């Protein structure tokens, strides 16, 4: 009877043999271009951080997402223009935001959730939005660098005054103080802001939104395997108690958008 090989030799043989080698975890950079809460609160908190954490729990052991904050302009110029050479993923984006309505440039995950761009005005001078024409003559608070489609057309025609602010919260504060007549803010950002800044009593949300849209994860067309894994992970979020707890801690009720989703959309707001 031959003596048994030492345990370390068995382990070495298993590690060196191709059939027994486990696939290495692939780290994928997950880009978030939203620098405003709830998407980014600080380096360790926010919707982007929570999403990556919960997706990683479900993507293991094949993939691991590594969150990276990036300005939108840099994302467009230094990452998305790589085409099939782009190896990362982009969080919370819609095909129309990157001129891919036909979904031919990138691969798109199943929806993360539905968001709606709300028309916000002061409670003291409420604006009941009934379509672009109902905003004629008003002062509109935009975010610098954002495109608002039909609202920008009104501004170019001299029918609406556009005034840019640094971010959505700045616009909300200007509306609350009646320095502007209205602004347009996604539900996700509005819900967090009014809860944290105690603005709800000063602001009016028009029953009709500017538009509703789905938020997705974007990957390169060269990454169908990653897309399949992300879709399965996103599907599992629906029953994930830790994901639901994270949403609640950020003052988000994603079912709330159902009240606005039935309205027709007016143009495309592209952050």
Identify the band that residue 8 occupies on the pLDDT scale cut at 50, 70 and 90. Answer: very low
pLDDT tens digit string along 120-141?
Answer: 999 999 999 999 999 999 999 9
- What is the per-residue pLDDT for 199? 93
The CATH number of the domain covering residues in 116-211: 3.40.190.10
pLDDT tens digit string along 223-237?
Answer: 999 999 999 999 999
Of 162, 127, 122, 166, the C-alpha closest to 143 is: 166
- What is the per-residue pLDDT for 216? 99
The DSSP secondary structure of the chain, one letter per residue, reads: -PPPPPHHHHHHHHHHSGGGPPPPPEEEEEEE---STTT-SBTTBSHHHHHHHHHHHHHTTTEEEEEEE--HHHIIIIIGGGGGG--SEEEEE-GGGGT-TTS-SEEEPSPSEEEEEEEEEETTB-----SGGGGTT-EEEEETT-B-THHHHHHHTTSSEEEEESSHHHHHHHHHTTSSSEEEEEHHHHHHHHHHHT-GGGEEE-SS-SEEEEEEEEEETT-HHHHHHHHHHHHHHTT-HHHHHHHHHTT--GGGGHHHHTSPP-S--B-
Mean pLDDT, the chain, whole residue set:
91
Where are the domains positioned within the chain? 25-114+212-261, 116-211
Question: Residue 17 and residue 51: Cα distance in Å, rounded?
Answer: 36
CATH 3.40.50.150 for domain 25-114+212-261, yes or no, is: no
Least confident of 15-29, 129-143, 249-263: 15-29
- What is the per-residue pLDDT for 1? 46
Identify the band that residue 270 occupies on the pLDDT scale cut at 50, 70 and 90. Answer: low
Instruction: Find out whether 264 and 150 touch, Cβ atoms under 8 Å.
Output: no
Instruction: For residues 14-33, give the mean pLDDT.
Output: 74
pLDDT tens digit string along 190-218?
Answer: 999 999 998 999 999 999 999 999 999 99
- 25-114+212-261 shares its CATH topology with 116-211: yes
Res 268 pLDDT > 50: yes
- What is the per-residue pLDDT for 11? 47
pLDDT tens digit string along 51-85?
Answer: 999 999 999 999 999 999 999 999 999 999 998 99
- pTM across the whole model: 0.88
Least confident of 92-96, 110-114, 144-148: 144-148
């Amino acid at each position: 009877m031959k003596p048994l090989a030492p345990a370390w030799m068995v382990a070495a043989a298993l590690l060196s043999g191709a059939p027994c080698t486990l696939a290495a975890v692939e780290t994928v950079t997950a880009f978030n271009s939203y620098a405003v809460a709830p998407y980014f609160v600080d380096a360790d908190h926010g919707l982007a951080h929570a999403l990556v954490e919960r997706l990683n729990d479900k993507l293991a052991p094949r993939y691991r997402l590594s969150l990276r904050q990036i300005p939108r302009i840099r994302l467009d110029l230094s990452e998305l223009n790589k085409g099939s050479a782009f190896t990362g993923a982009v969080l919370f984006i819609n095909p129309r935001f990157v001129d891919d309505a036909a979904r031919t440039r990138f691969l798109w995950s199943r929806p993360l959730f539905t968001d709606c761009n709300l028309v916000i005005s002061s409670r003291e001078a409420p604006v009941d939005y009934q379509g672009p024409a109902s905003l004629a003559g008003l002062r509109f608070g935009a975010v610098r660098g954002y495109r608002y489609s039909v609202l920008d057309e009104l501004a170019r025609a001299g029918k609406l005054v556009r005034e840019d602010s640094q971010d959505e919260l700045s616009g909300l504060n200007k509306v609350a103080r009646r320095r502007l007549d209205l602004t347009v803010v996604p539900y996700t950002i509005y819900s967090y802001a009014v809860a944290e800044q105690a603005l709800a009593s000063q602001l009016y949300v028009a029953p009709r939104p500017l538009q509703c849209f789905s938020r997705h994860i974007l990957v390169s067309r060269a990454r169908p395997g990653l897309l399949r894994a992300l879709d399965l992970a996103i599907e599992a979020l629906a029953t994930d108690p830790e994901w639901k707890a994270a949403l609640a801690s950020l003052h988000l009720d994603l079912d709330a958008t159902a009240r606005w989703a039935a309205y027709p959309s007016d143009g495309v707001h592209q952050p």
